[in-house]
Chains A and B, each alone.
Chain A
Amino acid sequence: MLVYDAHGYLGSNPEFAKYGVPSPLGEYDWLKLMDKQGITGALVAPPGAGAKDDFRPDMELIAKAIKNHPGRFYGYTRVKPRKGKTATDEIRYWIQDRGFHAVKMNTTDDDYTLADRELIDPILETIQDLKVPVLIHTGDSHGETCSPNMVADLASDFRDVTFIIGHMGYPGNENELLKVMIKSKNTVTETASVFRRAVIQNILDGIGYDRVLMGSNEPYSPVGLAKSLFNEHMNSLTAKNRIAILGGNFMRVFGVNK
């Protein structure tokens, strides 16, 4: 079975050392991890700790990983919308010139909210133009700046873009997710750090199995746990459902051919 992780991190964060993870967590560290856990490929973003350098050093590491190990690494470029044209130029550069596959947005990167359309729309226009998906962190301590409902508003204005609702809006906004995904057909969600089975099953029962991607939040939470959750601990899933969630949906959303 092909297994893809839709939400991991590659690069430097001094906090990694606290629990014995190397910093930077590089391509060879990731490969060891993936091979050990039976993960085919991972879509990785630079960690938030790199915001002060506009994430560039870590995106260089990701670019190398993509080049050296095609089919194993996929890259998120991470953006600070307040940089204006610099931000949109950077997105184009990493996607068109360095082979990245999607954009990641976290409102804490540049202290903004998803409701600030004047700030966000130029970014989304660029994303739409480049025909790549965008992962938006939702829920959590700053959930009031990045809720699934806010993503729905963006999705309704940019219908050609696939929006990935990060972390299922959990915790804090997961109750919004089902209605949002029913209404906004150009949304998918991913499960990074969501280990509460009923939260995940609720979405699967409501919208089906083809718009949920496995995400891990590795190394903040171990990638092996996310895979194990779906493989062994979601007892209502059929084999076909598992194949979709663990990798089939990823391949479709990110255009991976095997």
Chain B
Amino acid sequence: MIYDSHAYLGNNPVWSDIGLNLPFDGDEWVKLLDRVGIDGVLTAPPGIGADEDFIPDMDIISEAVKRYPDRIFGFARINPRKGDMALNELRKRVEDQGFKALKMNTLDGNYTLDDKGLLYPVIETAANLKIPVFFHTGDYSFPTCTPSMVSSIAKDFSQVNFIIGHMGFGGVNGFPGSTEELIPCMKSSQNLFTETAGVFKAEFIQDVVDSIGADRVLLGSNGPYSPNELPKIMIGKHMNKLTDTEKSLILGGNFLRVFNI
């Protein structure tokens, strides 16, 4: 079974520039998943929807989740600066619409992950809802969202699973990013997971698996920004030191466990 733990669903004009239909909704995703042999995908609203608090795209995700309950899963995405409104939205998406996790990106509200006063009400709500929390890390915004910052939050909320998005990676050789922090952080907290969206450097992924094992690494694609098939090919066919068991965990076994499918 193969599951993609990091993708997007909704409207982003950039996607039509690369030949995709808009909205890129549940129907479009299922066509794609069937074509490339992926069983399911966890989708977030794209960042461009921040001005509308991601609500229109989360509505499209909700429809997709209802229509394809075993194929499409939803991330709720909120701006923590919106206070109770954001928390209520999060509760609604999870309790009423079956979303599986919370996705946060510091660019959405111009904050940093060490702003605990801002973040902790959100994490407490996620803890009460018993859902994992995904933080974008690395990339151009990396000073605001490092694996170390996620690790610090994880120590205060040991009952919540946190996903370090993109492995703290960025671009061709890891820059801009904070890759050197990832392994020490993941060694320090067992409630930390990571996913591979945007990481096409085999040696880096192998380093992580060699250091912390394969059971806390999830396949992620960043689709449709990057083709969601490529990470599956990368892990499945181009990581020659991974055992079949390790591949199976990364490609889908860990997803089923972490998101309680």
Q: Which of A's residues lie within 8 Å of B, judged by CB?
A: 15-16, 18-21, 139-141, 143, 167, 170-172, 192-198, 201-202, 205, 217, 219-222, 224-225, 228-229, 232-237
Complex CA gap A251/B243 in Å reads 39
Cβ contacts B9-21/A at 8 Å (1 or 0 each): 0000010011110
Chain A nearest CB, measured from B12 CB (Å): 9
Indicate if the CB atoms of B227 and A172 lie closer than 8 Å.
no
Complex CA gap A141/B175 in Å reads 5
Indicate if the CB atoms of B202 and A141 lie closer than 8 Å.
no
Listed A/B pairs (14) with beta-carbon separation below 8 Å:
A18-B210, A171-B172, A193-B172, A193-B200, A197-B18, A197-B227, A222-B200, A224-B237, A224-B238, A225-B200, A225-B230, A233-B227, A235-B20, A237-B19
Complex CA gap A195/B196 in Å reads 13
Indicate if the CB atoms of B171 and A171 lie closer than 8 Å.
yes
Q: Which residues of B contact A221 (CB under 8 A)?
A: 200-202
Indicate if the CB atoms of A224 and B202 lie closer than 8 Å.
no
Indicate if the CB atoms of A171 and B233 lie closer than 8 Å.
no
Chain B nearest CB, measured from A47 CB (Å): 12
Chain A nearest CB, measured from B111 CB (Å): 23
Choose among B173, B206, B226, B229 the residue that contacts A18 (Cβ–Cβ < 8 A): B206
B257 interface residue (CB < 8 Å to A)? no
Indicate if the CB atoms of A233 and B206 lie closer than 8 Å.
no
Indicate if the CB atoms of A170 and B172 lie closer than 8 Å.
yes
Indicate if the CB atoms of A229 and B200 lie closer than 8 Å.
no
Q: Which residues of A contact B175 (CB under 8 A)?
A: 140-141, 143, 171-172
B55 interface residue (CB < 8 Å to A)? no
Chain A nearest CB, measured from B106 CB (Å): 18
3 nearest A-B residue pairs (beta carbon):
A235-B19, A20-B240, A171-B171
B18, B174, B225 pick with most chain A CB within 10 angstroms: B18
Indicate if the CB atoms of A20 and B241 lie closer than 8 Å.
yes
Complex CA gap A234/B227 in Å reads 9
Complex CA gap A167/B140 in Å reads 17
Complex CA gap A14/B79 in Å reads 44
Indicate if the CB atoms of A171 and B170 lie closer than 8 Å.
yes
B206-245 interface (Cβ within 8 A of A)? 206-207, 210, 224-227, 229-230, 233-234, 237-241
B176 interface residue (CB < 8 Å to A)? yes
B168 interface residue (CB < 8 Å to A)? no
Indicate if the CB atoms of A198 and B172 lie closer than 8 Å.
no
Indicate if the CB atoms of A236 and B19 lie closer than 8 Å.
yes
Complex CA gap A229/B17 in Å reads 15
Complex CA gap A197/B20 in Å reads 11
Cβ contacts B119-147/A at 8 Å (1 or 0 each): 00000000000000000000110000000
Complex CA gap A46/B237 in Å reads 24
Indicate if the CB atoms of A140 and B19 lie closer than 8 Å.
no
Indicate if the CB atoms of B230 and A234 lie closer than 8 Å.
no
Q: Which residues of B contact A217 (CB under 8 A)?
A: 172
Q: Which residues of B contact A201 (CB under 8 A)?
A: 17-18
Indicate if the CB atoms of B233 and A15 lie closer than 8 Å.
no
Chain B nearest CB, measured from A127 CB (Å): 24
B45 interface residue (CB < 8 Å to A)? no
Indicate if the CB atoms of B227 and A195 lie closer than 8 Å.
yes
Chain A nearest CB, measured from B87 CB (Å): 33
Complex CA gap A19/B200 in Å reads 12
Indicate if the CB atoms of A235 and B18 lie closer than 8 Å.
yes
Complex CA gap A38/B139 in Å reads 33
Chain A nearest CB, measured from B235 CB (Å): 11
- Chain B, Cβ-Cβ closest to A170: B171
Chain B nearest CB, measured from A200 CB (Å): 8
B26 interface residue (CB < 8 Å to A)? no
Indicate if the CB atoms of A225 and B233 lie closer than 8 Å.
yes
B51 interface residue (CB < 8 Å to A)? no
Complex CA gap A251/B57 in Å reads 44
Known contacts A19-B203, A221-B201, A198 near B18 by CB under 8 Å: yes
Indicate if the CB atoms of A19 and B240 lie closer than 8 Å.
yes
Complex CA gap A21/B203 in Å reads 10
Known contacts A197-B225, A222-B238, A15 near B203 by CB under 8 Å: yes
